[in-house]
């Protein structure tokens, strides 16, 4: 369906098309943000706030260090590997000022995963958090990285706080391992050297120049680097910004530039947090509250307490964790305008409980690393589309195809979702064959997700193509099973996969983390029979203390499938 299909269907105030050439590159967006919002708070982390002007100054100091004290050249790759610290936007904005290509790196990667990504991207510089210096030391000799900079957790805090936090991390909590790296430079030392260096060298970045190599694991094989150009990321920022222009019944904008306070618990190395908090929020002068460790609910609540939060960004597992925390339930949600969810399916029960507590329904969105990432979004307030990901962003076309590649035009019929728009990646880094598999000559990207589009243009994601379970010829979608099961009051998390079965071809196996240890398999099975058609009812239920998840809380079904496959074929 072309872009025009959705014209007039979006929430009031949201335009049906945008001019994606408003900015030539991401640096123009940042320069505008620093000029317009300089005195406003930009990021608060560990109780300390930096304004946009302060972030601008610090990133320029770091940029001058890289330009005058290293051999880095425009177009070289720089990896950033740290939690959501104040240092992250400083380093990332510096990279854009220096014309470097950003390689956001998961801090929880194993040494093997780090080595693959650094070598695949041809990384020349690495800025990392000291807490995993031992892994960096192990990997560096096997890479082409020449410039190595280490930062401690409290490096951008005021003196007393900085000294305290860094001492605690090193000597009390023993978070920082012993490591030795030749030629390493400390982040604070680099800033000081940059401060004393000549004026920053300007760079001329073109729209089609690469801004980031964003690595995605996909469903199989090693991680691939999605090539995201400045044009891709600028377009997606402008598309997100179009959604922020929604108006209320009086015609007033719901989201006002320079006035929103946004919670940032999703890690910045994740593409959604990267685009949402580091680019879009900067463009609008919004205040980001950084959550360095979202898995610590006590610290999370303490970080939120001083602020009147207006926008909350998260995903299903995070919402569940917070809803169970007494301190979170006692917070004041009177200023909350919107809660956005993405990255994994949102359970209906979670949404209902969140709305009951906060007075704000969760709006689901949909995106992929390869699309910079946002493709679809739901409106705010009364325009939240329940159990859907809303409508495609302006300038975005969608279509559904069947297993043969033929386009599906029947409303409500499921097919693989294909996307076309200015936010779609250029391709996979150094992988032309993998690129051809998902991106055709007309620019259509095959998502690997099964979706439906109804007569009103509302998009619903059913499941991953590779996660589909076929029981006696019937399609069974794990997302549906998991949504039903997690609504049970004694269930915390659930994951459904397909396993081989002699009679039905495949059967559903369910992995469950209980919130009540008294829950039995027979009780849960009886509940499933009440809620699900017979062929969807799990044949096997296995209780576990935890499920394999990504750092952002997405259940890794492929790891469960691999484990089951290994156990069935092993000795």
pLDDT (tens digit per residue) in 188-200: 999 999 999 999 9
Reading the block at residue 42, the tokens are: 């930009």
Distance between CA atoms of residues 505 and 32, nearest Å: 58
For domain 468-569, give its CATH number from 3.30.300.30, 3.20.10.10, 3.40.30.10, 1.25.40.10.
3.30.300.30
Name the nearest CA neighbour of 398 among 367, 435, 434, 433. 367
Contact between 423 and 372 (Cβ < 8 Å):
yes
Distance between CA atoms of residues 5 and 116, nearest Å: 42
Order of strands across the sheet that contains 445-453 = 407-408, 397-401, 415-420, 445-453, 459-464
Contact between 540 and 499 (Cβ < 8 Å):
yes
Reading the block at residue 164, the tokens are: 């305290």
Contact between 80 and 188 (Cβ < 8 Å):
no
Contact between 12 and 52 (Cβ < 8 Å):
no
User: Residues 284-301: what's their mean pLDDT?
Assistant: 95
- Strands 123-129, 224-229: pairing is unpaired
How does DSSP classify residue 247? Answer: B
Distance between CA atoms of residues 109 and 404, nearest Å: 37
How does DSSP classify residue 465? Answer: G
How does DSSP classify residue 98? Answer: H
Report pLDDT digits (tens) over 553-564. 788 998 999 888
Name the nearest CA neighbour of 421 among 379, 375, 460, 464. 375
Residue 217 has pLDDT above 50, yes or no: yes
Contact between 126 and 145 (Cβ < 8 Å):
yes
* pLDDT for res 423: 98
Paired residues of 511 in beta bridges:
495, 542
Reading the block at residue 110, the tokens are: 């194993």
What does the CA dihedral 420, 424, 430, 432 come to, rounded to 10 degrees?
0
Distance between CA atoms of residues 237 and 147, nearest Å: 30
| Cis, bond preceding 373 (omega within 30 deg of 0) | yes
Would you list the domain boundaries of the chain?
A: 468-569
Distance between CA atoms of residues 256 and 79, nearest Å: 33
Least confident of 24-28, 83-87, 301-305, 468-472: 468-472
Q: Give the predicted TM-score (pTM) of the model.
A: 0.88
Angle between helices 87-98 and 52-69 (to 10 degrees): 50
Residue 571 has pLDDT above 60, yes or no: no
3-state SS, 361-414, equals CEEEEEECHHHCCEEEECCCHHHCCCCCCCEECCCCEEEEECCCCCEECCCCCC
Report pLDDT digits (tens) over 395-451. 999 999 998 999 999 999 999 999 999 999 999 999 999 999 999 999 999 999 999
Distance between CA atoms of residues 81 and 262, nearest Å: 22
Report pLDDT digits (tens) over 311-334. 999 988 899 889 999 999 999 999
Report pLDDT digits (tens) over 73-106. 999 999 999 999 999 999 999 999 999 999 999 8
């Amino acid at each position: 369906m072309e872009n025009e299909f959705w014209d007039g269907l979006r929430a009031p105030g949201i335009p049906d098309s945008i001019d994606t050439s408003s900015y030539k590159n991401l640096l123009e967006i940042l320069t505008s943000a620093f000029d317009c919002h300089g005195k406003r708070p930009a990021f608060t982390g560990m109780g300390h706030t930096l304004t946009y002007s302060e972030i601008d100054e610090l990133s320029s100091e770091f940029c001058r260090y890289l330009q005058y004290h290293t051999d880095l050249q425009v177009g070289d790759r720089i990896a950033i590997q740290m939690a959501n610290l104040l240092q992250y936007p400083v380093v990332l904005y510096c990279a854009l000022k220096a014309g470097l290509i950003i390689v956001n790196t998961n801090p929880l990667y194993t040494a093997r995963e780090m080595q693959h990504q650094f070598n695949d991207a041809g990384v020349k510089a690495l800025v990392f958090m000291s807490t995993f210096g031992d892994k960096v030391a192990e990997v560096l000799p096997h890479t082409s990285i020449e410039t190595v900079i280490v930062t401690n957790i409290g490096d951008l805090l005021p003196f007393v706080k900085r000294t305290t936090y860094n001492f605690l991390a090193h000597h009390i909590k023993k978070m920082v391992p012993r490591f030795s790296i030749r030629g390493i430079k400390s982040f604070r030392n680099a800033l000081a050297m940059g401060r004393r260096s000549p004026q920053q060298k300007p760079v001329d970045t073109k729209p089609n120049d690469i801004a980031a190599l964003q690595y995605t694991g996909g469903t199989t094989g090693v991680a691939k680097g999605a090539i995201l150009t400045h044009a891709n990321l600028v377009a997606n920022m402008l598309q997100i910004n179009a959604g922020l222009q929604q108006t209320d019944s009086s015609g007033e904008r719901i989201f006002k530039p320079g006035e929103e306070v946004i919670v940032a618990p999703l890690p910045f190395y994740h593409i959604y947090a990267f685009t949402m908090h580091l680019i879009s929020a900067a463009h609008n002068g919004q205040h980001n509250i950084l959550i360095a460790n979202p898995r610590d609910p006590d610290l999370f609540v303490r970080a939120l307490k001083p602020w009147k939060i207006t926008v909350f960004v998260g995903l299903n597992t995070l919402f569940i964790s917070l809803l169970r925390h007494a301190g979170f339930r006692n917070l004041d949600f009177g200023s909350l305008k919107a809660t956005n969810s993405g990255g994994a399916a949102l359970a209906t029960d979670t949404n209902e409980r969140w709305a009951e507590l906060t007075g704000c329904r969760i709006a689901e969105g949909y995106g992929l690393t390869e699309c910079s990432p946002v493709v679809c979004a739901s409106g705010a307030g009364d325009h939240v589309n329940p159990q859907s990901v809303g409508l495609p962003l302006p300038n975005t076309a969608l279509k559904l195809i069947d297993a043969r590649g033929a386009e599906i035009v029947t409303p409500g019929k499921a097919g693989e979702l294909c996307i076309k728009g200015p936010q779609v990646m250029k391709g996979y880094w150094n992988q032309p064959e993998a690129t051809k598999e998902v991106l055709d000559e007309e620019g259509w990207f095959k998502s690997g997700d099964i979706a439906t589009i109804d007569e009103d243009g509302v998009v619903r994601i059913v499941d991953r193509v590779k996660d589909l379970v076929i029981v006696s010829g019937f399609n069974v979608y794990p997302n549906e099973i998991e949504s039903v099961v997690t609504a049970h009051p004694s269930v915390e998390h659930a994951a459904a996969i397909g396993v081989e079965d002699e009679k039905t071809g495949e059967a559903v196996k369910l992995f469950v983390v209980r919130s009540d240890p008294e829950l039995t398999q027979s009780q849960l099975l009886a509940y499933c029979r009440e809620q699900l058609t017979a062929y969807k009812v799990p044949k096997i239920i296995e209780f576990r203390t935890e499920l394999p998840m990504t750092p952002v809380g997405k259940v890794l079904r492929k790891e469960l499938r691999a484990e089951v496959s290994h156990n069935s074929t092993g000795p």
